[in-house]
């Protein structure tokens, strides 16, 4: 059964990209440092038919669209290849281009217990998340975060997140373990090579959330601020 949390190495006419993806019950949710991915799939006699919408969540020329559009559709078919899944297809936004993807499972053995969600807590859904470093440090991280009943899955082109949160009355708090799925030393040297523990707390409403966080990368403590914007409900 096509089900779980994956890293995706994809290409459009051999130009590469990467993302994280969660699939379950016919729904696909995921994304990377600049685009969210939402879609649906059906399984038929071992074949998986996927329709995905890629939508930009970061305006930055460093992250061009491989399909030449900020919103693009992808139609692919695929199958299991051992524990992995392989897909191939096309996009109407770039006729003649070939889209290929290899999806590899990411372990979730480190998932902490789910938190408690009360009235006025943050809504389940896929969020675009933008981390900014504080205390005069330059840079940050952009990605996506799937919140579902007190559990966190997410990531970007280099990292994946596992975590838990509790939320009620417009507040939320939790913890995230940030891990590499692709070497990131050239792009994010502070986090590369470490399992980074992040504790956070902040405010939330029906459209998104804010948080202040402390990340522990090796022996270094880094303060962060993040904004989450709801992409779609789950």
- Taking only the tens place, the pLDDT of each residue in 168-226 is 999 999 999 989 998 876 666 667 777 889 999 999 998 999 999 999 988 889 999 99
Task: For residue 158, give both structure tokens.
Answer: 């280099």
Token digits of residue 17: 């990209």
Q: With contact defined as beta carbons under 8 Å apart, do 211 and 172 qualify?
A: yes
Nearest partner of 180 among 66, 20, 54, judged by Cα: 20
Q: Which are the contacts of 219, defined by CB distance < 8 A and separation ≥ 6?
A: none
| C-alpha torsion sign, points 206, 212, 214, 217 | positive
Task: Answer whether residue 152 shows pLDDT above 70.
Answer: yes
Which CATH number is associated with domain 4-105? 2.40.128.380
Query: Cα–Cα distance between 192 and 188 in angstroms, integer?
Result: 6
Q: So what's the pLDDT on residue 100?
A: 97
Q: What is the mean pLDDT of residues 6-34?
A: 96
pTM of the predicted protein model = 0.94
Angle 110-127-59 from CA coordinates, rounded to 5° = 120
Parts of the chain belonging to CATH 2.40.128.380: 4-105, 125-233
Res 88 pLDDT > 90 = yes
What is the mean pLDDT of the segment spanning 57-79?
94
CA 196 – CA 176 distance, rounded (Å): 8
Per-residue pLDDT reduced to its tens digit, 90-112: 999 999 999 999 999 997 666 88
Which 3 state secondary structure label does DSSP give 106?
coil
Architecture label for domain 125-233: Beta Barrel (2.40)
Q: Which of 39, 31, 29, 34 is nearest to 4 (CA)?
A: 29
Token output for 81: 């290849």
Own/partner long-range contacts of 11-14 (Cβ < 8 Å, ≥24 apart): 11/66, 11/99, 11/100, 11/101, 12/66, 12/67, 12/91, 12/94, 12/97, 12/98, 12/99, 13/97, 13/98
């Amino acid at each position: 059964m096509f089900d779980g949390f994956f890293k995706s190495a994809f290409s459009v006419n051999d130009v590469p990209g990467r993302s994280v993806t969660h699939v379950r019950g016919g729904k696909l949710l995921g994304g990377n440092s600049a685009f969210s991915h939402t879609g649906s799939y059906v399984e038929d006699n071992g074949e998986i038919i996927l329709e995905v919408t890629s939508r930009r969540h970061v305006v930055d020329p460093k992250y061009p669209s491989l399909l030449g559009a900020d919103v693009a559709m992808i139609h692919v078919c695929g199958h299991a290849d051992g524990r992995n899944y392989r897909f191939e297809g096309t996009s109407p936004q770039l006729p003649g281009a070939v889209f290929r993807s290899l999806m590899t499972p990411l372990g979730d053995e480190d998932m902490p217990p789910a938190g408690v969600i009360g009235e006025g807590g943050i809504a389940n859904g896929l969020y675009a998340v933008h981390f900014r470093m504080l205390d005069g440090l330059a840079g940050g991280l952009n990605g996506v975060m799937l919140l579902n009943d007190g559990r966190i899955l997410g990531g970007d082109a280099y990292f994946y997140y596992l975590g838990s949160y509790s939320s009620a009355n417009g507040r939320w708090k939790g913890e995230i373990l940030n891990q590499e799925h692709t070497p990131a030393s050239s792009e994010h040297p502070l986090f590369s090579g470490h399992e980074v523990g992040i504790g956070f707390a902040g405010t939330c409403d029906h459209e998104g959330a804010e948080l202040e966080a402390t990340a522990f990368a090796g022996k270094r403590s880094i303060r962060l601020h993040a904004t989450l914007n709801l992409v779609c409900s789950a």
